């Protein structure tokens, strides 16, 4: 049964999409073509077709190879889809995509969906065994990859197609490449497949083996409106998307930009100085970045903030936004920062607006239209204001279970996210950490995120991570890992924590590193920090 809250929320989201320009007046011929594309290919396959019908000559995508109009991009997707169809790709197949941020990823995504195949987004940080394991478990029947991942893809007995190479021969003359297939394919819209495939995003695997979280294309229809009900993105502008497109935030932002008819600006590797050049050179009004990207951009020596003056939206997500970074960004950029909180299984859960972040720096705000969020105690009852509990969510965009079977625990129709959090007096959600990160030291519950937040705010600390390690006397003890400058010492770190938090939260050990291990989405890989 669909809740009235969800129906009302989806209507509000639809209104937001109209205001943003995603849905609006168009010539009858373009309207008819848009409807046909959605019915034929679903929203994933139609991602490039919709703006092509409305704005065929507008710049649609910019990457290191240059600029494609929306019309050119969609014709390339059609040609690739038709070339794949000639090779038997269609419903029941799964096309795996192992690419950095560039046109090839979007072309492979749209083309595969237009054939009716499912699309699996693969983590570019996978080692060979991880890649092969994920591809076999998810039933990959064809693989699209950048040349740098050729060695990792060895051993997969499926057709492989190069999407990008930095060496000579990048183009239609490179046998088996996407460009070669596009050159031979018919650029006319392919016939509608007998059924639509699914979209599969892998969980980040920060706490275990990555799992496939499939989502039907129909479930993704409500997502843009929900985001636009909180974030004032507008059609026809330019958007720089920094997070990897193989994960939720980057992919959502890219598809949303296409749907808005906005120019999507991509770069294969994040370089803060080049990003500033891209933002100014392409007149970007929106920047999508994970927190570590935003931190590095603000830390650029001699950064001229006037070069960022056209930005109206800076949307961060994919990892924890520390309160200190939230404050620094607001000071440097003004009230333009939005904090996106989601998960692979639940999609968008909450979004903090600039007003939310001014009142509660680092918070994740409130749920968008059509989404319900609750913080529950161990008995499944709503936790009191300010009391930490487990975060639960319900929305039209949540997944239906992992490809390997099973799903997330539920209480009263709400799905557990796996995070601990609390609501403040204004109803804003603050995340206290992962449920599986909490440690018990000497009988006291300790949330490492609270200690990390304090350490990250120290002027000499650039990055901080705190984990629990075994302790014979207390069961567990805290070990802090810091990337720091100046003359900071272990004793000074302990004194700083003791002056601000309870004794049980003072790290027994402090380890200084050159950098913290992170995955491509910016999350710290705590499992790679030494605990022995």
Q: Identify the bridge partners of residue 342 per DSSP, sorted by sequence position.
A: 348
Q: Sign of the C-alpha dihedral, residues 117, 318, 249, 387?
A: positive
Using the predicted structure, report yes or no on whether residue 13 has a pLDDT greater than 50: no
Q: What is the pLDDT of residues 297-344, one digit of tens each?
A: 999 999 999 999 999 999 999 888 999 999 999 999 999 999 999 988
Burial class for 379, CB neighbours closer than 10 Å (0-12, 13-18, 19+)? exposed
Q: Which of 73, 49, 52, 75 is nearest to 63 (CA)?
A: 73
Of 170-174, 185-189, 393-397, 485-489, give the lowest mean pLDDT range.
Answer: 170-174
The rounded distance, in Å, linking the Cα atoms of 337 and 353 is 7
In 10 A of CB 86, how many CB atoms? 12
When pLDDT is averaged across residues 154-164 and rounded to a whole number, the result is 93
Domains 4-332 and 439-528 alike in fold: no
Q: What is the pLDDT of residues 92-126, one digit of tens each?
A: 999 999 999 999 999 999 999 999 999 999 999 88
Mean pLDDT, the chain, rounded, equals: 88
Task: Provide CB contacts within 8 A for 131, sequence distance 6+.
Answer: 98, 122, 149, 152, 153, 156
| Cβ–Cβ under 8 Å, residues 165 and 180 | no
CATH class entry, domain 439-528: alpha beta
Q: What is the pLDDT of residues 173-232, one digit of tens each?
A: 566 799 999 999 999 999 999 999 999 998 865 555 778 888 776 555 555 668 888 999
**Locate tokens 């994933």: which residue?**
44
- Tokens encoding 116: 């009716």
Backbone region of residue 141 per phi and psi (left: phi > 0; alpha: psi in -120 to 50; beta: other values): alpha
Distance of CA 319 to the CA centre of its chain: 9
The rounded distance, in Å, linking the Cα atoms of 528 and 42 is 40
Determine how β-strand 337-343 pairs with β-strand 347-352. antiparallel
For position 8, what pLDDT does the model report?
47
Confidence of residue 441 (pLDDT cuts 50, 70, 90): confident
Domain formed by 4-332, architecture: 3-Layer(aba) Sandwich (3.40)
* pTM, rounded to two decimals: 0.86
- Tokens encoding 468: 């629990």
When pLDDT is averaged across residues 250-274 and rounded to a whole number, the result is 95
Which helix (H) or strand (E) is 265 found in, with range? strand 263-265
For position 206, what pLDDT does the model report?
52
Burial class for 367, CB neighbours closer than 10 Å (0-12, 13-18, 19+)? buried
For position 9, what pLDDT does the model report?
45
| Cβ–Cβ under 8 Å, residues 485 and 492 | no
The rounded distance, in Å, linking the Cα atoms of 325 and 310 is 21
**Domain boundaries defined on the chain:** 4-332, 439-528
For position 514, what pLDDT does the model report?
93
In 10 A of CB 506, how many CB atoms? 21
Give the CA count within 13 Å in the CB-facing half-sphere of 517: 8
When pLDDT is averaged across residues 257-283 and rounded to a whole number, the result is 96
Confidence of residue 15 (pLDDT cuts 50, 70, 90): low
Of 5-9, 212-216, 288-292, 467-471, give the lowest mean pLDDT range.
Answer: 5-9
Distance of CA 103 to the CA centre of its chain: 17
- Tokens encoding 456: 């990250």
For position 269, what pLDDT does the model report?
94
| Cβ–Cβ under 8 Å, residues 248 and 266 | no
| Cβ–Cβ under 8 Å, residues 95 and 144 | yes
Burial class for 204, CB neighbours closer than 10 Å (0-12, 13-18, 19+)? buried
In 10 A of CB 2, how many CB atoms? 8
The rounded distance, in Å, linking the Cα atoms of 172 and 180 is 4
């Amino acid at each position: 049964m669909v809740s009235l809250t969800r129906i009302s929320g989806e209507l509000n989201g639809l209104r937001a999409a109209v205001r943003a320009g995603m849905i609006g007046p168009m010539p009858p011929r373009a309207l008819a073509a848009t409807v046909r594309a959605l019915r034929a290919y679903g929203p994933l396959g139609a991602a490039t077709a919709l703006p092509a019908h409305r704005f065929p000559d507008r710049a649609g995508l910019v990457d290191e190879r240059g600029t494609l109009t929306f019309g050119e991009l969609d014709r390339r997707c059609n040609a690739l889809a038709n070339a794949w169809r000639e090779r038997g790709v269609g419903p029941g197949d799964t096309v795996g995509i192992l690419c950095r941020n560039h046109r090839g990823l979007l072309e492979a995504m749209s083309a595969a969906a237009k054939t009716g195949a499912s699309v699996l987004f693969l983590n570019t940080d996978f080692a060979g065994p991880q890649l092969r394991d994920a591809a076999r478990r998810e039933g990959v029947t064809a693989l699209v990859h950048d040349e740098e991942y050729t060695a990792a893809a060895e051993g997969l007995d499926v057709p492989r197609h190069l999407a990008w190479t930095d060496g000579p021969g990048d183009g239609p003359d490179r046998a088996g490449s996407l460009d070669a297939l596009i050159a031979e394919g018919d650029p006319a819209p392919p016939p509608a497949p007998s059924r639509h495939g699914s979209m599969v995003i892998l969980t980040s695997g920060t706490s275990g083996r990555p799992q496939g979280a499939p989502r039907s294309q129909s479930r993704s229809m409500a997502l843009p409106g929900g985001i636009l009900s909180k974030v004032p993105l507008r059609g026809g502008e330019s958007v720089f998307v920094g997070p990897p497109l193989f994960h939720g935030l980057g992919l959502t932002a890219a598809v949303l930009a296409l749907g808005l008819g906005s120019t999507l600006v991509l770069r294969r590797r994040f370089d803060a100085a080049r990003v500033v050049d891209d933002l100014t050179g392409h007149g970007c009004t929106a920047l999508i970045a994970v927190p570590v990207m935003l931190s590095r951009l603000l830390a650029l020596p001699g950064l001229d903030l006037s070069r960022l003056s056209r930005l109206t939206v800076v949307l961060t997500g994919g990892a924890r936004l520390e309160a200190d970074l939230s404050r620094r960004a607001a000071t440097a950029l003004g009230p333009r920062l939005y904090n996106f909180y989601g998960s692979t299984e639940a999609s968008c859960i909450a979004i903090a607006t600039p007003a939310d972040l001014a009142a509660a720096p680092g918070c994740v705000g409130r749920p968008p239209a059509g989404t319900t969020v609750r913080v529950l105690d161990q008995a499944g009852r709503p936790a009191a204001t300010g009391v930490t509990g487990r975060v639960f969510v319900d929305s039209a965009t949540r997944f239906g279970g992992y490809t390997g079977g099973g799903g997330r625990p539920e209480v009263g129709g709400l799905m557990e996210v796996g995070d601990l959090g609390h609501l403040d007096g204004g109803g804003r959600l603050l995340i206290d950490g992962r449920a599986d990160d909490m440690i018990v030291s000497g009988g006291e519950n300790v949330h490492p995120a609270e200690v990390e937040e304090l350490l990250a705010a120290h002027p000499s600390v650039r990055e901080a991570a705190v984990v629990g390690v075994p302790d014979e006397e207390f069961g567990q003890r805290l070990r802090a890992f810091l990337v720091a400058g100046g003359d900071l010492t272990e004793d000074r770190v302990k004194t700083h924590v003791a002056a601000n938090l309870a004794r049980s939260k003072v790290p027994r050990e402090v380890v200084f590193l050159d950098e913290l291990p992170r995955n491509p989405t910016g999350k710290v890989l705590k499992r790679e920090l030494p605990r022995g």
